[in-house]
């Protein structure tokens, strides 16, 4: 004979913790009501419990239907990784500053370091957008992936920062002297190693931030 706990473990499979808790509470209450109602006319408690479980029907069918209307573990994980818990005034100020930096970096285009700042700013803005639906969550996640791809591409392409359009001279003029063209690229190499390390640390910080947000909620 299937017990209520067995029925619930199947019915709540794949649901996020809060949704599973809600299902347990409502089905538990329903089950107790059924037991009370049948107990008034039937003294065989085992039979009453068996019939109460049977009346609930197939747990897998209930699970399929619950997954359509309640938040699943995967969806909760998606939302946790995308949003900050709340909007606060200092967050808004920070976001505005980062947006301003991003606009400046895009407009000026003088340094690859600016591209890095722009990418970090965009990433922060995307993380701060409140997500109210799974569809919006996926859109923001795709934008974030794109932004991270661009960020790493900037780093990988040139192997260093601080070497933007000014650092990359496609047509070096021999009259420029030792501080220009290929000579200058060679002269910048020691600083590139430091920049690489800085980018790696910044990227590591982003990953930690993305996975460490202790936040979850139920839709609906």
193 binds another protein (CB under 8 A): no
* Segment 143 to 172, residues that bind another protein, using CB under 8 A: none
CA distance 96 to 125: 9
The answer to whether the beta carbons of residues 20 and 39 sit under 8 Å apart is: no
Beta strands in 27-165 (DSSP E): none
* Segment 39 to 58, residues that bind another protein, using CB under 8 A: 55-58
Query: What b/e sequence results for 181-191 when a residue is b if at least 16 CB atoms lie within 10 Å of its CB, and e otherwise?
Result: beebbeeeeee
| Interface pick for another protein out of 4, 16, 48, 62 (rule CB under 8 A) | 62
Could you give the string, one character per residue 68-97, with x where binding to another protein holds by CB under 8 A and - elsewhere?
xxx---------------------------
Window contacting another protein (CB under 8 A); options: 61-69, 109-117, 121-129, 171-179: 61-69
Nearest to 193 by CA among 162, 148, 154, 165: 162
65 binds another protein (CB under 8 A): yes
| Interface pick for another protein out of 89, 190, 214, 220 (rule CB under 8 A) | 220
HSE toward the beta carbon, residue 181, CA cutoff 13 A: 9
- Spatial neighbors of 38 by CB under 8 A, at least 6 apart, are 48, 51, 52
Q: Toward another protein, which CB reaches closer, 68 or 156?
A: 68
Q: Which DSSP category does 164 fall into?
A: S
Q: How far is the CB of 56 from another protein (least distance, A)?
A: 4
6 binds another protein (CB under 8 A): no
Q: Which DSSP category does 131 fall into?
A: P
Q: Toward another protein, which CB reaches closer, 66 or 115?
A: 66
CA distance 155 to 157: 6
Q: How far is the CB of 135 from another protein (least distance, A)?
A: 14
Chain positions contacting another protein, by CB under 8 A: 7, 11, 23, 25-27, 29-30, 32-34, 37, 55-59, 61-62, 65-66, 68-70, 219-220
């Amino acid at each position: 004979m299937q017990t209520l706990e067995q029925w619930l473990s199947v019915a709540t499979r794949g649901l996020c913790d809060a949704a599973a808790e809600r299902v347990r509470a409502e089905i538990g209450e329903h089950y107790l009501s059924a037991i009370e109602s049948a107990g008034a006319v039937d003294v065989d408690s085992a039979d009453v419990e068996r019939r109460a479980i049977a009346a609930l029907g197939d747990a897998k069918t209930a699970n399929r239907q619950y997954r359509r209307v309640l938040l699943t573990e995967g969806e909760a994980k998606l939302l946790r990784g995308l949003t900050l818990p709340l909007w606060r005034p200092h967050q808004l100020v920070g976001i505005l500053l980062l947006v301003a930096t991003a606009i400046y970096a895009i407009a000026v285009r003088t340094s690859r370091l600016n591209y890095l700042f722009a990418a970090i700013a965009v990433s922060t803005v995307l993380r701060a957008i409140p997500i109210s639906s799974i569809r919006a969550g996926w859109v923001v996640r795709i934008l974030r992936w794109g932004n991270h791809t661009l960020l790493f591409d900037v780093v990988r392409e040139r192997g260093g920062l601080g070497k933007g359009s000014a650092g990359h001279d496609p047509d070096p003029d021999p009259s420029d002297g030792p501080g220009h063209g290929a000579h200058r690229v060679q002269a910048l190499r020691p600083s590139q190693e430091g920049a690489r390390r800085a980018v790696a640390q910044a990227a590591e910080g982003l990953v930690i931030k993305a996975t460490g947000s202790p936040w979850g909620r139920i839709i609906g």
